[in-house]
A and B are shown apart, each in its own frame.
Chain A
Amino acid sequence: MGTTSISLCDVGRTFGATRALAGVDLDLKPGVTGLLGPNGAGKTTLLRLLATALPPSRGQVSVLGLDPEVPAERTDIRRQLGYLPQEVGFPRGFTAFGFVDYIALLKEWTQPAARHAEVRRVLGLVGLSDLSTKRLRAMSGGQRRRVALAQALLGAPAALILDEPTAGVDPEQRVTLRTVLAEIARRSIVVLSTHQTEDVAALCERVIVLDRGLIRYDGPVTDLVAQAAGRVWLADDPDPAAAVSWRTGTGRYRNVGGRVRDGAEHVEPSLEDAYLLLRGGAPERQPTGELA
C-alpha cells in the first residue's frame, strides 16, 4: 500500500471553453474533509478527479502515493478507493443486495461467501439490513442514496470520496452515517461534498470552500466559524448592508455581516453564517485560511 495521502499540485480542469477547476493545490490526510461551495463551483469535478473518474487538464494528481496517469497504478488506486458519485443509476430489477453484490464483483470480491458477508456488513452500516431484498425501484430516494453509499464502503477503502452522501437522507440516518464516516476516517481519507453545512460542522475537522473553480478557504472548521464571531445579529429590520439577511421564525431578522446597529442582539455564528459571509464578499475582513 502506498502513502495515505492525496495531493493535487496546480490541478486544473476544463470542459471545452468552460473552466471547472483552476490551479488547485491540496494535500489530504486521514480524517474527514468537507467540501462546500455553490452549484457549479467545481466540487463534483474535484471529487471525480480524486476518484480517478476524470483526468486533469493540467497539473499533477497523486492518490495514495500512486499516479492515476499510469494504468497499472490507476487500477491499484481503484482497489483502495470508495466512490459515491453525485448521481447513481441502478440497473432495472435489482435489489439493494443485488446491486451492492454486483459492484463487489467489479471490486474483485470473487469468493461468494466473503463477498456476501461484506455486502451484508456495508448494508448494515447504512442501516439497510432489513431492506436488503427490497427492489431499488420500490425504495425511497433516501434509501437508494444509502444503497449507493453502501457500495462505496465495500472493502474498507483507504480513500473514500463522497459526493453529497446525505442528500435526501432523513435526520436520524444522517446522524448514523456521521458516526460511520467518523469511524472510517480514523484510518482513511474521507472527502465529502455537501450543501448541508451542519453535516460539515458535525463531522469535518477541515473544510474547503470552492467557488468558480478556485479554493476560497481551506482550513479548520472552527477557524472559519470564528471569522463570523460578532458579525451575526438579530434585529427587527433587515440590514441592506448585510451579506445576507432573512426573517426567522420569531419574526426578527438574522443579519450576517453589515454594520451592527445599536440594540441589536448578537448571536453565536454557525458554520452556515460563516460560509454565507465568505460567499457574500465581506471585503473588509477575509478568513485566515488559504485563499486562492
Chain B
Amino acid sequence: MTGWHLDDDLLRRYAERTDSLAEGASAEQHLLSCGPCRARVNAAAGVIDVAAVWTRTQDTVEVPRPSVLERVLRVAGLPAHEARLVAVASAFRGAWLAGVATVLAFAGVAAAFGHARGMWLFLAVAPIVPCLVVASSYDPWLDVAFEPELVTPYPALRLVLLRTIAVLALALPLVLLFGLVVPGAAAFAWLLPATGFVAVVLAASTWVSPLRSACAVSAAWLAVIWLLAARSDAPEAVLQARAQAGFLILAAASFMIFLIRRRRLRQLRPWG
C-alpha cells in the first residue's frame, strides 16, 4: 500500500473500458491490492448506460457496413441515409460495373490499335455507356424491390436524380480513363453526345420506361455510327464543331423537357 489511489476519472475510464492498454493494466494491478479502490469500482461501473452499450454492440453486429461507394458519397457531402439509398441501385453492382469496364476496355484498345475502325467502335460504345448505366440505376424492371419502394413517401424524383448524378460521377471518369489510350480528339469527343443521351433518356422516361428509352437511344446512335462508317472512313465527322454543338443543344432541350414533365416520370407512374 502506498497511500495512492485511483482518481475518479481514471476509475471511470477503467470501468467503461475507454482507458489505454497501459493505463488499464496499471489500474488493474492497483485494484488487485487495494480494497478501498475495489469498493469504488462498482459505483463507477454504475454510471455506465448498459442499454446504450448494448445498442452500440447490436449496431456493430447488425448495421451493414457502408460500401466503398457509400463512403465516397458521404465524403462528397451526401448525408449518410441518402448515400445508402443511392448505393443500392443495381447499376452499382460489381458484375454490372465489371461488364461496363470490359466493354470500354475493349473499345479503348480497339481505338488505340485498330485505326479508323477501332476509332468508330470506341465512338459507338463510349457515348451510350453512361445513358445505359443511368437507366439501369432507376428502371423499375431492374429494381427488384420496386413495389415496396414505390409506396414509400420518399420522393422518387429526388431518388432518380441522386442516382443519375452518382452514376455519372462514376461512369464518366471510367470512360475518360479508357479514353486516355485513344489518340487525338476522339478521347473526349464522346462527352457531349453522352451528356445529350443521358438527358434524352431522362426526358423520354416521362413517356416510356428508362431502360426502353436508353435502348432506343443506343440503337439509334449505333445506327448513325454504322451509316457514317459505311459512308466514310473518317471518324472526324463526329468531332466537328457543328456536330458537337448539336449534341449540346440536344442535351439542353432534353433536360428542359425533363424538367417540365418531371412529375410524369415513369418511376412515379402509374400515378404521374
Contact = CB atoms under 8 A, between A and B. Distances in A.
B148 A97 contact: no
Contact of A85 (B55, B59, B147, B152): B147
A36 B81 CA distance: 39
Contacts of A227: none
Contact of B58 (A92, A94, A95, A120): A120
B40 interface: no
A39 interface: no
Interface residues of A, number: 46
B86 to A, nearest CB: 11
A33 B203 CA distance: 42
Contact of B151 (A83, A89, A98, A116): A83
Contacts of B50: none
Given A91-B90, A105-B85, A78 B152 contact: yes
Contacts of A266: none
Nearest to B156: A106
Interface string B58-72: 110111100000000
Contact of A106 (B58, B80, B93, B149): B149
A55 B271 contact: yes
B263 A105 contact: no
B151 A112 contact: no
Interface string B137-177: 00000001111111111110000000000000000000000
Contacts, number: 94
A246 interface: no
A252 interface: no
Contacts of B64: 94-95, 97-98, 101
Interface in A70-125: 71, 74-76, 78-79, 81, 83-85, 87-92, 94-95, 97-99, 101-103, 105-108, 110, 112-113, 116-117, 120
B62 A116 contact: yes
Contacts of A117: 55
Q: Which of B93, B145, B149, B151 has the most CB of A within 10 A?
A: B151
A75 B153 contact: yes
A194 B80 CA distance: 38
A53 interface: yes
A113 B58 CA distance: 11
A106 B85 contact: yes
A78 B151 contact: yes
A79 B153 CA distance: 6
B62 A91 contact: no
A89 B150 CA distance: 13
Interface in A31-83: 51-55, 68-69, 71, 74-76, 78-79, 81, 83
B191 to A, nearest CB: 31
B59 to A, nearest CB: 6
B151 A51 contact: yes
A99 B149 CA distance: 11
B148 A151 contact: yes
Interface string B225-244: 00000000000000000000
A89 B144 contact: yes
Given A53-B150, A79-B153, A133-B62, A90 B88 contact: no
13 contacts: A52-B271, A78-B151, A84-B148, A87-B147, A94-B64, A97-B64, A103-B145, A107-B152, A107-B154, A110-B81, A112-B81, A116-B63, A120-B62
Interface of A: 51-55, 68-69, 71, 74-76, 78-79, 81, 83-85, 87-92, 94-95, 97-99, 101-103, 105-108, 110, 112-113, 116-117, 120, 132-133, 148, 151-152
Given A75-B153, A103-B152, 4 more contacts: A83-B148, A87-B147, A108-B152, A116-B63
Interface of B: 55, 58-59, 61-64, 79-81, 84-85, 88, 90, 93, 144-155, 263, 270-271
